[in-house]
Structure 1
Amino acid sequence: MAVNDDAKKLRWVESVARLMDSQFRLPGTNFRFGLDPILGLVPFLGDVSSFAVSGTLVLTMARHGASRHLIIRMVVNIILDMVIGSIPILGALFDFGYKANERNVRLLKAHYHEGKYQGSGTGFLTVIIIIMVLAFALVMYGLAKLIGWLYGYVQDLW
């Protein structure tokens, strides 16, 4: 019964990753995109919601046997997506092409295919959550500093 439960949860991960990264197709082309780049157009709220969904997917994959090395690679994908994705205009373009969630699902499938499935790693998940929260806080701090600097720059021009 547990194996069937794992399969359902991993199918859920795959479908959410597809929704976030490639659910829609630009008519007349093969170019696919998902909700992630669309949400990224909404300042702050879009980045936070995309980060939360991506983090939830990685945590689910970690609970279902991803190794520490694989989880670190997945978190790096998410942090890269979050950091570059938070840059206005460039970040939106990056989000259309990078597709961090689908990259993570492909990594997990390759991990299972190689037979490196290890089972749950609850202690390591705690460390990953802390790292993700710190990375998110660092990006928000950087954005606040950038906005403060821009505000001061504009004030000096007036």
Structure 2
Amino acid sequence: MEFTVKPEVLPPRRKRGGKLGGKLFDDENLDLLSHILDDFLKIPGTSIRFGLDGIVGVIPGIGDLIGGIASCIIIVAAWMRGVPYVTVARMVANVGIEVVVGSIPIVGDMFDIAWRANRRNYALLAGSLAEPRKHTIQSWIFLIGLCVLLSGLVLLPMLLFAWLTGHVLRSIGTDMHGLFAR
């Protein structure tokens, strides 16, 4: 007696939205996410707007980290939708700047509210899909400027240290010369 097994053929699963990421990465949802994170609340009587990112950023230690993780959704969506890598790098830099500066108590929270990395990143995503060449050039300029700034921040302390060391050594040399002249 011989048994034959016939495999069951299941139809392929259909992805919601018909594309990778489904409806999560639709323009409307990403716009809503950036709005909720950056500017859905308004201080009455002012033009100051802020969102969950500004509120969560008040929590010392982990607030800005949580906000940065939420901001990564827009970056992942941009990458999955084929935005040029230089623009994705600019988006990462926007979130990095917000997280690093935002970690400074009080001043960083005000910076978070003003910087609005998520609104910036959504605008980069939408603009990059509409006019890829223009946004790629702007992203290169931004990243080059950021590299120059970071290089200056690294070189400035080194130059200051070299100047102080030379000044101290000259001072010691003058004192030593006075000792031997007597």
The alignment's C-alpha RMSD in Å is: 1.9
Q: Structure 1: how far apart are the matches of 2:24 and 2:51?
A: 23
> Are residues 1:13 and 2:30 paired?
yes
How many residues align? The count is 115
Larger Rg over CA atoms: 2
> Are residues 1:38 and 2:87 paired?
no
The TM-score, its normalising length taken from structure 2, stands at 0.58
SS in 2 for 1:15: helix
> Are residues 1:106 and 2:120 paired?
no
> Are residues 1:68 and 2:72 paired?
no
- Of all paired residues, the percent bearing the same amino acid is 31
> Which is bigger in relative contact order (C-alpha 8 A, separation at least 6)?
1
SS in 2 for 1:38: helix
The TM-score, its normalising length taken from structure 1, stands at 0.66
* 1:13 Cα deviation from its structure 2 partner: 1.3
Among 43, 55, 66, which residue is 1:49 paired with?
66
- Which position in structure 2 is the counterpart of 1:122? none
Are the aligned partners of 1:10 and 1:61 in contact in 2 as well (CA < 8 Å)? no
Q: Structure 2: how far apart are the matches of 1:60 and 1:36?
A: 19
Among 76, 95, 106, which residue is 1:78 paired with?
95
Contiguous gaps of at least 5 residues in structure 1: 117-158
Contiguous gaps of at least 5 residues in structure 2: 1-16, 134-182
SS in 1 for 2:45: coil
Which contiguous aligned blocks of 4+ residues in structure 1 show a shift greater than 2 angstroms? 5-10
- Which position in structure 2 is the counterpart of 1:2? 18
